[in-house]
Amino acid sequence: MEIAVLSKPGGRSYNEDACGYWTSDSVCCWVLSDGAGGHGGGDYASSLVVKTILEDVSRAPYMSAAAIHEALRHANEVVIEHQQDERRLRDMRATVAVLLIDQNNRTAQWGHIGDSRIYCFRNGARLMQTRDHSVVQSIVDAGMVDASQLRNHPQRSVLLAALGSEEDFDPAVAAEPMPLQDGDVFLLCSDGLWEYVDEFTMERSLTHTTSPQAWLDVLEAELSRRADPRNDNYSALAIWLGSPEEITLTMGL
């Protein structure tokens, strides 16, 4: 297993994204969160989310849909609780994407809220992608606009769900674990990255790099080429399963 981490403020004065991971011989956990609320509230919310989920998993390293749902519920409660700490924090919210891998059973399971995404690639092609909890995603699902407009629609950043709300807490959690293969690759990323880096670019660059860090470097270079100078914070966690040789063979390099 190889891991790489990327988190930058982009064109903003500070970074409201947070990410981290915890590994053991049995269960491993990766968490990425994108804060919202401004004036420091977003970065506080995202850091609370990452810290809470990683602590919960490390205390009880067990992978199931119920365990993921409970970790997300607890993170939601913690954000709501700390909204009362200061006036500037009362509107803070955060997206979250969490991935768990059971090393003994060689399976993965995940959950998310908001528009931070989880991707899985197999044989260099996209196998799985989470669905955003956003206004534009719902419009796309209804067939009112084409999926190609998702990245540049005027309402792209309007969320339907995020941590920090007492109402309508309904995270998306994979119902069953997914069996893993050597060479599988996972990417957790905030919207600051996927807004400028499409899935074709992710796949193409994945098949031409030989490490997760090199892959993230290519994705960041593509983002820098396309992004507005005032672009949002961007973060990513890349997880490659198997040795570099196995991954290279799987992708046909």
Give domain limits for the chain: 2-251
Label residue 203 exposed, middle or buried (CB < 10 Å: 0-12, 13-18, 19+): middle
pLDDT of 156 reads: 75
10 Å CB burial of residue 160 (0-12, 13-18, 19+) is middle
What pLDDT sits at residue 140? 84
Q: By the 8 A CB rule, do 10 and 27 touch? A: no
What is the per-residue burial (b if ≥16 Cβ within 10 Å, else e) of 104-129? eeeebbbbbbbbbbbbbbbebebeee
pLDDT at 143: 85
As given in the structure block, the two tokens for residue 70 are 């409970």
pLDDT string in tens for the chain (253-residue length): 999 999 999 999 889 999 999 999 999 999 999 998 765 799 999 999 999 999 999 999 999 999 999 999 999 999 999 999 998 899 999 999 999 999 999 999 999 999 999 999 999 999 999 999 999 898 888 888 888 778 888 777 889 999 999 887 899 999 999 999 999 999 999 999 999 999 999 999 999 999 999 999 999 999 999 998 889 999 999 999 986 555 555 555 5
**Per-residue model confidence (pLDDT) at position 152:** 82
Type of residue found at 185 = V
Query: Distance between CA atoms of 70 and 178, rounded to whole angstroms?
Result: 19
Minimal CA–CA distance to 196: which of 162, 179, 170, 219? 219
Tell me what percent of the chain is helix, strand and coil, each rounded to the nearest 5.
35, 25, 40
Is the Cβ–Cβ distance between 183 and 241 less than 8 Å? Answer: yes
Superfamily in which the 2-251 domain is placed by CATH: PPM-type phosphatase domain (3.60.40.10)
What is the rounded CA–CA span in Å between residue 141 and residue 143?
5
CA atoms within 13 A on the CB side of 128: 18
The confidence score (pLDDT) of residue 252 equals 55
Q: What pLDDT is stored for residue 230 in this prediction?
A: 87
